[in-house]
Homo-oligomer: A and B are copies of this chain.
């Protein structure tokens, strides 16, 4: 991309945001991904360009957020194998996360959007699949006006140190533990 075009894009965006933020939603509670979706909802209402990379969740997942995003023209790109602590093929989980990081890193440095969401990305750092330092370096090199939102438990301290806004979602009460109620479609997925 030519220097001129880059300058023009930066100028276009700088009318919208003074300074892009690095936002981290972490903790054991509900609402980490959901709050990121809420930001998308708001930002879409302001005509921001948004792109979402989902880690962990199965490639091609069709949850409520995918259906909504598709209708609104917001790309949600999922690449994962539904990794949990019970997964057997960790090499595959790691490889998918690394590939997804390669793609999102490219988008962050290119900076064509106003907001980039890396959903459940903390796990990839926590399990050592993606070096935290490389993430921090990439965030520091991003275009000034780009917001990046990262969600997931176990946010590494180095990421928290480099973030602007960090919220911990704490579980106070959960029906699935206490009352045996199943996760609800349209609410949680």
Q: Which residue numbers of A lie inside 8 Å of B, CB to CB?
A: 16-19, 21, 23-27, 29-31, 33-46, 48, 63-71, 114-115, 147, 160, 163-175, 179, 181-182, 184-189
CB distance from A70 to the nearest CB of B (A): 8
Query: From DSSP, what is the main secondary structure of chain A's interface residues?
Result: mixed
Q: Which residue of B lies closest to A161 (CB)?
A: B173
A67 — nearest CB in chain B belongs to which residue?
B45
Chain B residue numbers with a CB within 8 Å of A184 are 17-19, 21, 147
Contact B164–A172 (Cβ < 8 Å): no
Closest to A189 in B: B42
CB pair A186–B35 under 8 Å, yes or no, is: no
Please name all residues of chain B whose beta carbon is closer than 8 Å to the beta carbon of A40 when the two chains form the complex.
38, 41
Bound: A149/B41 CA distance, A: 17
